[in-house]
Amino acid sequence: MAIFIPKGVCSRGIDFEIHDDLVFNVKFIGGCPGNLEAISRLVDGMPVKKVVELLKGVHCGDKTTSCSDQLALALENESKADKG
């Protein structure tokens, strides 16, 4: 289980697992519960690369990031760490 502390968003944490380059068990701590639960369900079992492609660069209102963008960043960082 990886734990990521997002910056610039309402969510205070993102927990997730990566197995064989697939994303599982994403849990956001804080933030907009309905939207973040939906994102978690949609990305479950999806390849890391695909999740990053879909979510990277998404903004929330006038912020330069979003909880989904932070998830993409977390997955990128963890994926690089696993391969590095």
Band (84; pLDDT cuts 50, 70, 90): low
Q: What percent of the chain has pLDDT over 70?
A: 99
Contacts of 15 (CB under 8 A, 6+ apart): 1, 2, 3, 4, 25, 26, 27, 29
All structural domains of the chain with their residue ranges:
2-83
pLDDT digits (tens, 9 = 90+) for 2-38: 999 999 999 999 999 999 999 999 999 999 999 999 9
Structure confidence at residue 54 (pLDDT): 98
**Residue 74 contacts residue 6 (beta carbons within 8 Å):** yes
